[in-house]
Amino acid sequence: MQTRRQFIQKAGLTTLAAVNLPFADSFSRSVFPKEDKVLRVAIMGLGSYGTRVAEAMRDCKRAKLVGVISGTPSKIESWKEKYDIPAKNCYNYENFDQIKDNPDIDAVYVITPNSLHKPYSIRVAQAGKHVICEKPMALNAAEGKEMVDACKKAGVHLLIGYRMHFEAKTLEVVKRQRAGQFGKTLFFQGLSGFIIGDPNQWRLNKELAGGGSMMDIGIYSVNGARYMLGEEPIWVTAQEVKTDPVKFKEGVDETITFQMGFPSGAVASCLSTYSLNNLDKFFLNGTKGFAEMQPSTGYGPIQAWTNQGPIEAEHITHQTTQMDEMAQIILEGKKPIIPVDGEEGLRDMVIIDAIYEAVRTGKKVELV
């Protein structure tokens, strides 16, 4: 690589540099643009979604996979080889606090079962590294608040894995809604569900997942209602249906329908289930038009249209865009159109807590 001095000499500018003319530094900045910093990320939890994120990061320009944290030695070995990860950047769940002494890791993406999000995120923060945590951020709002407080105390970012907040067609619908293209938006419908497989997986274990479909797929409709309507709900009602109490044990919800009310008078009607496929749809209706998305939150490509016709945008792997955008948030202070910080995740947890309370009591639950 050519040094600054070599470049100046070859360009016949040695005299310019020697006399230190006022514009010499500005000239050097123009011909030596500052390189964009790259966020160096370790992934914690090397399961199917961790693998999806790792593969997507191969195409990132601002984020790079540099480390792993896993309780399975064989996975660490295979990832070291596949992603060219140095041994010094590999940790297990017992010793990963040592990342505090590793200057080659900037952030850790926590992709573990839900019950481990809080303790591991707090440990990462206490080690002085930025935290990216998969959603839902915690088992409940109280845990989420602990995470937010811990990251603030440590002076690190806490971001939640809301990949849809960066998806092009989603953002276009949000921009049009905010611009008033649909008039006053008064209704949102969110349908989120699929038929879940292996009955022994952690997502059907209350201690690990914190619930059932609501803690997995239902959060998309909770979050989607908020960013599609551009408001925070003030009340919820909810009902649970369980057809298979063997597969869906006590505390593990199979299907929940829930409703939310908003200050403007808008309402949301949503469904979360582990027992039906072909449920991945958002519908937003206003006094002047509508927007519909189906699929709305899958890995893509997303399909979206309005009363004016289809929305066109290039499909880019969601996690690639997510990680590049999060790198700019952490490194440059970029402000996303839809927030992805810990407070955003905490708002969803408050609503999910209220939904579970509404199911338990059969009453409307007011949100403060």
DSSP string over 137-188:
-SSSHHHHHHHHHHHHHHT--EEE--GGGG-HHHHHHHHHHHTTTT-SEEEE
Percent of the chain with pLDDT over 90: 90
Shared domain for 126 and 267, answered yes or no, is: no
In 267-339, at which residue ranges do the beta strands (DSSP E only) sit?
A: 267-273, 279-286, 290-293, 304-306, 309-310
Catalytic hit among 118, 129, 135, 281: 135
Identify which has the larger pLDDT, 344 or 21.
Answer: 344
Query: Would residue 206 count as lying in a domain?
Result: yes
Query: Would residue 243 count as lying in a domain?
Result: yes
Does the annotation count 135 as an active-site position?
Answer: yes
Shared domain for 43 and 183, answered yes or no, is: no
Q: How far apart are CA 87 and CA 89, in angstroms?
A: 5
Q: Which residues of 152-163 are buried (b: 16+ CB within 10 A; e: fewer)?
A: eebebbbbbbbb
Helix (H, G, I), strand (E, B), or coil: what is residue 226? helix
Each residue's pLDDT tens digit, 226-260:
999 999 999 999 999 999 999 999 999 999 999 99
Torsion of CA 362, 364, 365, 368, to 10 degrees: 180
Please report the pLDDT score of residue 229 as a whole number: 98
Identify which has the larger pLDDT, 1 or 115.
Answer: 115
Given a cut of 50, is residue 16 above it in pLDDT?
A: no
Shared domain for 183 and 298, answered yes or no, is: yes
Given a cut of 50, is residue 32 above it in pLDDT?
A: no
pLDDT (average), residues 324-352: 98
Shared domain for 224 and 302, answered yes or no, is: yes
pTM to 2 decimal places? 0.90
Shared domain for 279 and 362, answered yes or no, is: yes
- H or E element that contains 200: none
Shared domain for 211 and 299, answered yes or no, is: yes
Q: What does the chain come to in residues? A: 368
The amino acid at 319: Q
Range of the domain at 9: 1-33
Does the annotation count 334 as an active-site position?
Answer: no
Number of domains in the chain: 3
Each residue's pLDDT tens digit, 63-86:
999 999 999 999 999 999 999 999
Please report the pLDDT score of residue 35 as a whole number: 63
Shared domain for 149 and 295, answered yes or no, is: no
From 33-42, 89-98, 166-175, 260-269, the region with the lowest mean pLDDT:
33-42
From 31-35, 44-48, 180-184, 343-347, the region with the lowest mean pLDDT:
31-35
Catalytic hit among 109, 120, 162, 220: 220
Query: Tokens 């914690």 label which residue?
Result: 44
Domain end call among 133, 163, 193: 163
